[in-house]
Amino acid sequence: MNLSPLQKARYEYVPKLPGMLRNGIAEICVQNGEATTSVADQDKIKSLFPNTYGKNEITFAKGSNTSVAKKQVVGVILSGGQAPGGHNVVCGLYDALKATDRNNVLLGFKGGPSGLIDDDYVEFDDAFIDAYRNTGGFDIIGSGRTKLETEDQFKVVTEVAKKHGLTAIVIIGGDDSNTNAAVLAEYMAANNTGVQVIGCPKTIDGDLKNEDIEASFGFDTATKTYSELIGNIERDANSAKKYWHFIKVMGRSASHVALECALETQPNICLIGEEVAAKKMSLSQIASQIADSVEKRGNAGNNFGVAIIPEGIVEFVPEFSKLIAEINELLAGSNTEKFNALPDWDAKYAFIENGLTKESMAVFAILPQLIQQQLFLERDPHGNVQVSLIESEKLLSALVKDELAKRKAAGTYKGKFGALHHFFGYEGRCAFPSNFDADYCYSLGYNAFMLIQYGYTGYLSKVSNLSKPAEEWVAGGMPITKMMNIERRTGEDKPVIRKALVELDGAPFKYFAAHRDQWAVETAFTYPGAIQDNGPSEVCDITTITLALE
């Protein structure tokens, strides 16, 4: 393999562990915390998880290790979308396992949860692991989105675990993946398989977060990567002085990524989906808000700017959500085939006009034709509109252009408007992890093995106090059921981990709200630059602004 100088240097980086995990395996003890309850729907969650519900939170501390020594054979999977640092979770797990007993074994199941079902795996050794330390991506074993949720799947996984003598399974993933981990842990406990299940919190979207989980891994690196790119675009805009850049960033269900990037770069506009929903803003109101900034800047001779758009913004707009719901209903069953068989867009438009309510048709009619057609692209497996395929950045710039034309005709807008569009998503998912994510992920993996050694199951590996230096981080675990509630999914009530949305009364949003009016008019851009791996700690180990403010 040909290695870049950076890759060689990153292999040699030694991740920092929390202080209590640096004492050596033999000197780590457990301190019990309070018993837990689920975040909502306590009776229902308790009835679904009788063997794993209500357990204590725990913290690791310096002291005599009282766990029972035994050979450990652990399976690990990467589940869901990629996030920087995933390799270091595996490396930390491997190092802790081997530091306890060189005869312990770590098996990596390939392609996500399906690897457990298909018994497709690799046994890790030092050389294999060393090739992936501190690197981005999930290519060490690959990932996948198969859900572990049926009785038949659990039986297959149980047989695979029995075949290899697995004592534990570690699932590295987001909210859905860790929901699966909780369900699998309950099944394993109910059937006395002796197999423990531990989860690790991953997602660049930042929505796997609560009072216990201060940050999901990958968020730090991804937002810093996007912010570097946004800063580069801001500098170009301030140099060329002739374009408005509409930049869509990852985050379908929550706007954490957009908010952090705004705090890092101070753009003229950043939309926060949770605020749009709370204020019940329409598309026209959003376009008018952006147009206000364009008009003020243009009339001052500044015909350029930057607007950050969260990926899922349209789902937060009440009128648009209603439109999508009606389209899903309109194309239910055989109607999809009827619609697709129509000869041209005019015929399809008439079909749509006949099937939507007057209110939703009014919303549909103001959309550019490109966006109208995107609403009728390939459906998801449940027959619903794939909102992620909608180019919301182009939708909003088109609406802004129309609004500005009205203002120009009225004589209030005297500037020029030209728009360019960008979507930053995959650019950040597999970047070399920042020092923070390299350290945090390694600690999560190391800590996961400590949970296994002490016999816990249905727990999430937890490392907190993250805004402090790594020496002061606190390692431990929390029952996954603590984060769960009941939600309606595909027509059924199901236990799931509650997603964390941007809190409008939280410190990060309040800081943003206090400064955005100034940013909207002035050129207040900041340029974060590339992630730094070497140098003073205040540069290389800095956390996200979101975490610092929280």
pLDDT attached to residue 224: 98
- Number of residues written out for the chain: 550
Which is it for strands 459-464 and 196-201: parallel, antiparallel or unpaired? parallel
- Whether the per-residue pLDDT at 480 is higher than 70: the answer is yes
CA 351 to chain centre: 37
Question: What is the tens place of the pLDDT at every residue in 130-150?
Answer: 999 999 999 999 999 998 889
pLDDT attached to residue 5: 87
Q: What's the one-letter identity of residue 242?
A: K
Beta pairing partners, 61: 29
H or E stretch at 197? strand 196-201
Active site residue 205: yes
Q: Could you tell me which residue, 381 or 261, shows the higher pLDDT? A: 261
Q: Which of 95, 175, 205, 220 is catalytic?
A: 205
Q: What percent of the residues of the chain are helix, what percent strand, and what percent coil, each to the nearest 5?
A: 45, 15, 35
Within 10 angstroms of residue 441's Cβ, the number of other Cβ atoms is 31
Task: Record the pTM.
Answer: 0.94
The overall longest dimension of the chain from CA atoms, in Å, is 80
Question: Rounded to an integer, what distance in angstroms lies between the CA atom of residue 527 and that of residue 530?
Answer: 9
Please give the share of the chain, as a percent, with pLDDT higher than 70: 98
Question: Rounded to an integer, what distance in angstroms lies between the CA atom of residue 236 and that of residue 191?
Answer: 61
Within 10 angstroms of residue 162's Cβ, the number of other Cβ atoms is 12
Average pLDDT over residues 265-274: 98
Q: Which domains does the chain have, with CATH numbers?
A: 39-52+66-218+433-454 (3.40.50.450), 223-425+506-545 (3.40.50.460)
Give the relative orientation of helices 219-240 and 435-453 as an angle to the nearest 10 degrees: 170
DSSP secondary structure letters along 67-127: PPP---EEEEEEESS--TTHHHHHHHHHHHHHHH-TT-EEEEETTTHHHHHHT-EEE--HH
Question: What is the tens place of the pLDDT at every residue in 4-42?
Answer: 888 888 889 999 999 989 888 899 999 999 999 999 999
Which pLDDT band holds residue 384 (cuts at 50, 70, 90)? low
The three-class DSSP label of residue 244 is strand
Q: Three-state SS across 159-177?
A: HHHHHHCCCEEEEEECHHH
pLDDT attached to residue 154: 96
Q: What's the one-letter identity of residue 93?
A: L
Mean pLDDT of the chain: 94
DSSP secondary structure letters along 112-145: THHHHHHT-EEE--HHHHHTTTT--SSTTT-EE-
- Whether the per-residue pLDDT at 340 is higher than 80: the answer is yes
Question: What is the tens place of the pLDDT at every residue in 183-206?
Answer: 999 999 999 999 999 999 999 999
Decide if 407 contacts 290 (C-beta within 8 A).
no
pLDDT attached to residue 492: 82
CA 160 to chain centre: 30
Backbone φ, ψ for residue 108 (5° rounding)? -100, 115
Decide if 10 contacts 456 (C-beta within 8 A).
no
